[in-house]
Amino acid sequence: MVTCLGDLEATCLALLEGRSGVAPLRLGDPGKLGVTHGYEIQDGRPGSRPRLAGDWLADCVAEALRDAGVDPARRRVAVVVGTGLRELRGVEQWHADGTPLHLTQLHFREAVRAAVPEVTEVHTIANACAASGYALALGADILELGDADVVVAAGCDTMTESMLTVIGKVTDGTSDMVRPFDEDRPGVLLGEGAAAVVLERPEDVPEGRPTLGVLRGVGLTCDAYHETAPDRAGIVAAMRQAHEYAGTSPDDIGLVVAHGTSTGLNDPTEGAALLEVFGPDGPPVTAVKGAIGHTSGGSALMSVLVALTAMRAGTVPPVVGLRSPMPEAEKLGLVRGAPLRARPRLAQVDAFGFGGVNAVTIVEASDD
């Protein structure tokens, strides 16, 4: 994983310390965009190169396969990439100043195969902010059907002036930080980066090889309730479907990593959905966007990695940026101010996108 705070280890450490990667925006003209801050990756790439999410993605996919000890030359490896914007930033640079861009770069096949040429297939799913949750679900189906021996589920997005303009148009005033579930939440800000995990059937994992955890199930709904506004019923349906597929009940869940966008509609809707499913005595709830921003297509998978790391470490990070919980979230078990010492076995991870595209993931802690 790579975010504005660094790799997975660095990002989780910052979350535990309550640090945020927000900074004054470098991309575009803040006065025209209506956005002054963001969660950008400072990677020092030459300005003559298009700023492509595929570069981060390729690094994450290759590293995930190395960490898992999987040789794609010896096994059938499929890659499923979830994204919200694909390579829109590259298109913007091409349009603005003629920065070279090939049509093949708009799909992530070329980027992935440049790093791992032996993979058998690369799929791109453009499912808004739930995209990498959908990638997990499709990856599990590919394994279940026997169409691959190993699947890399991934997600990525980079910041674009087009999306920043949208944020600037729909936010009242200007936001200096994402504050999930806060009474005075100022609105969402964009982040960027990529994440990747390797999926294997349990019986195919060599004895003694450590694993991050177990994917128990992913609930998917596409309620098409509104172009941008979330629907509580659609979100609840995704949560209940996730538990049905995972063979779990709400009482089994020891941690929720919420979507938590800091927006006027998402946070109260998600809060109400969580209360409907879990009741007022539900599990601890945290969220990561105050630290890394809204990473669009990669956000679901990044939250999954944070959940698995927290369960392994026995420490749940607080909701960075949260000061005073909004009334709709006061009955949630929000982790505030400091990390929570806990060792849950099961976690629920929420991800919701425009158009009612929802993905809710249930993961189990590993015994390794």
- Name the percent of the chain lying above pLDDT 70: 97
Positive or negative, the CA dihedral 24, 27, 29, 33 is negative
pLDDT value of residue 175: 82
Q: Is 233 helix (H, G, I), strand (E, B) or coil?
A: helix
Neighbouring-strand partners of residue 150: 77
Distance CA 215, CA 361 (A): 8
Domain that holds residue 336: 2-365
> Using CA atoms in the order 229, 234, 235, 241, what is the torsion angle rounded to 10 degrees?
-160
**pLDDT single digits (tens) 324-352:** 999 989 999 999 999 999 999 999 999 99
Q: CATH number of the domain at 34, please.
A: 3.40.47.10
What integer is the mean pLDDT of 194-219? 94
Query: Would the pLDDT of 48 be above 70?
Result: no
pLDDT at 356 (0 to 100)? 84
Q: pTM score, two decimals?
A: 0.95
Q: Which of 4, 60, 129, 156 is catalytic?
A: 129
pLDDT of residue 172: 67
Annotated catalytic residue 37: no
Decide if 294 is catalytic: yes
Report how many domains make up the chain.
1
> Token digits for 313?
């470490």
Q: For residue 338, give both structure tokens.
A: 């400091």
**Mean of per-residue pLDDT scores for the chain:** 93
| pLDDT of 173 | 66
Residues 127-182: pLDDT tens digits?
A: 889 999 999 999 999 999 999 999 999 999 999 999 898 888 777 667 889 999 99
Which H or E run contains 154? strand 150-157
Helices (H) and strands (E) in the chain, counts: 11, 16
Residue 187 tokens read as: 């609105």
Which pLDDT does position 49 carry in this prediction?
A: 60
